[in-house]
Amino acid sequence: SRWRQGRPGSSLSASGTGISGLQPGSVPARPLLVQPGAAGRGIWPGLAPLAEGGVWIIASFFLLVSVCAWWVRTYLRAQALGMGKHVAWAFASAIWLFLVLGLFRPILMGSWSHAVPYGIFSHLDWTNNFSLQYGNLFYNPFHALSIVFLYGSALLFAMHGATILAVSRFGGDRELEQ
């Protein structure tokens, strides 16, 4: 075909360098896709070859360590400043979802192939397949409410920030001093 791609399930380009976006006729976003290994590999066969899910395992390990370290930092900074720890615990709920979908579920199902791939469209495809397999999330009222509150809170925070910026010439940015 006209597009150069790696092997199915590969996280590397056809050249094996991961920089296929620099070659004529290639897909520039191809190196941004990192997929777990194939279903037949299982969970504990050792580190998979890099082109067959090994990059995903390495990236997942460092992602897990960095996200948990950031949570500890968030908690300790809030404690040191005498602030509430509600932000750290809200972040912990997102980490729990990440752990369930990326670590616990694949281990219980016996293969890393059930985990979420890293990539823009690949993780959306995974989410759609998960939704179709376990009941359509689009018709779940609790899922709908969580999405509404997620986007609604983001909109309210943006409106609050815009309001503070708009009235800063009148001293509105000093609201904490008042």
Could you give the CA distance from residue 168 to residue 93 in angstroms, rounded to a whole number? 35
Please, which residues have CB within 8 angstroms of residue 39's CB and are 6 or more apart in sequence? 111, 113, 114
Q: Is the pTM of this model over 0.75?
A: no
Domain ranges of the chain: 50-121, 130-171
Considering only CA atoms, which of 67, 70, 68, 47 is closest in space to residue 57?
47
Residue whose C-alpha is closest to residue 128's, from 119, 138, 120: 138
Distances (CA, A) of 130 to 87, 105, 134, 150: 28, 12, 6, 20
- pLDDT tens-digit readout, 129-171: 888 888 887 788 888 898 899 899 999 999 998 998 898 888 8
Under 8 Å CB-to-CB from 126, ≥6 apart: which residues?
116, 117
Least confidently predicted of 1-15, 67-81, 116-130, 149-163: 1-15
- Chain centroid to CA 42: 23
Spacing of C-alpha 55 from chain mean position:
16
Pick the CATH number of 50-121 from 1.20.85.10, 3.40.190.10, 2.40.160.20, 3.30.530.20: 1.20.85.10
